[in-house]
Amino acid sequence: MSNATADMKNLPVLTGPEDYQDWSATVITHLRVHGVWRYVTGEYTKPELAAISQILGPLSKATKDASLAQAKEKLRLWQDADDKAYGMICQSLSHPIKHEVINQSCSKVVWDYLEAKYNTPCSSLSFKGLRAVTNTRYDDCNGMEEYVTKLTAALEKLDRSLGDKYLLPDPLKIQYLLCNLGNSWKDFLTRYLSSRFEKGKTSFDEVVHDLLQEEITFTFKKPPSDDAISYLLYGLQAIHPYVTEASRSEDSVKFQAPTTDVHPFGALIRSWFGLENRPFEGYYMVLDI
């Protein structure tokens, strides 16, 4: 069994519009890996022997025969590659869809047919995309960065399900982003919507930037103990109860909080670094990007 045939077992099967997006993305990658995707797109066009014969013109018979032999070899190689692409595509189709394209002339014709018929908005796919968006919640994620990443991916999935003629407007995407934050961000949203946010002007990317902007980073001269990090976290939570640890490395830790006011944190941290018996050594940085 060839590697190409064995790889087909891991490909999704196209059954209709509801799975076209996932199917096409995976199959395109597969075709690229095997070096035949450009035959499917038509970038590598089929050599035409008749046109080559006309171009040769008044050459000697031996020269013409050699040129035609070379051209026939190029045509054979093209047909082999196109047959390979054709076969890979057809093997990833359900039986009913496979019968629709089985007599098509080449891989490009097959692909163009499938795209025209099945790359269309689908109510079930739209529902799946909407469910992915509404089920992505800040409280289920490990911090703001993970939440934004997951929600953005879900919104893109919903966008694709609606087709090329309709894209989710930023105001709607912002509503999903803010509504799924949960109760811990209630006070922040009240202040944010009445100060920085401008209805109809603030973009989705700008809101994401504002949500990610509050960072408190400590860099240590030597790796801190868990007790030292707990000391920092409990102290920060005394100012804001929803301070969370965003990330940690061997010599640093980063916290974030749903607030636009970082000044109280700066004052508290400066007081810590004035203590002689503090449980850590190093530097700190409070960012309001």
Under 8 Å between Cβ of 215 and 253: no
The residue ranges of every structural domain in the chain are: 3-118, 123-210, 213-288
Residues 6+ apart with CB under 8 A from 67: 52, 56, 59
Bigger pLDDT: 162 vs 287: 162
Is 277's pLDDT higher than 70? Answer: no
End-to-end CA distance of the chain: 56
Is 58's pLDDT higher than 70? Answer: no
- Closest alpha carbon to 151 in 165, 132, 169, 170: 132
% of the chain at pLDDT higher than 70: 72
Identify the pLDDT of residue 133.
85
pTM over 0.75: no
Identify the pLDDT of residue 3.
52
The class (CATH top level) of 213-288 is alpha beta
Bigger pLDDT: 102 vs 54: 102
Bigger pLDDT: 142 vs 220: 142
Residue 178, judged by CB atoms within 10 A of its CB (0-12, 13-18, 19+), counts as: middle
Residues 6+ apart with CB under 8 A from 226: none
Mean of all residue pLDDT scores within the chain: 78
Is 272's pLDDT higher than 50? Answer: yes
> In which band, very low, low, confident or very high, does the pLDDT at 39 lie, cut at 50, 70 and 90?
very high
The tokens of 167 are what? 């894209």
Identify the pLDDT of residue 146.
85
Under 8 Å between Cβ of 273 and 266: no
> Which whole number is the average pLDDT over 122-147?
76
Bigger pLDDT: 190 vs 93: 93
Identify the pLDDT of residue 274.
67
The single residue listed with the structure tokens 């700008």 is: 206
> In which band, very low, low, confident or very high, does the pLDDT at 38 lie, cut at 50, 70 and 90?
very high
> In which band, very low, low, confident or very high, does the pLDDT at 268 lie, cut at 50, 70 and 90?
confident
Is 210's pLDDT higher than 70? Answer: yes
Phi, psi of 70 (to 5 degrees): -65, -40
> In which band, very low, low, confident or very high, does the pLDDT at 226 lie, cut at 50, 70 and 90?
confident
% of the chain at pLDDT higher than 90: 20
- Which DSSP string do the residues of 126-163 spell out, in sequence order? HHHHHHHHHT--GGGSSSHHHHHHHHHHHHHHHHHHT-
Bigger pLDDT: 280 vs 226: 226
> In which band, very low, low, confident or very high, does the pLDDT at 92 lie, cut at 50, 70 and 90?
very high
> In which band, very low, low, confident or very high, does the pLDDT at 235 lie, cut at 50, 70 and 90?
confident
Whole-Å CA distances, 215 to 125, 189, 257, 258, 266? 37, 17, 7, 10, 11
Is 57's pLDDT higher than 60? Answer: no
Phi, psi of 102 (to 5 degrees): -60, -25
Q: What is the dihedral of CA 174, 178, 179, 182, to 10 degrees?
A: 160
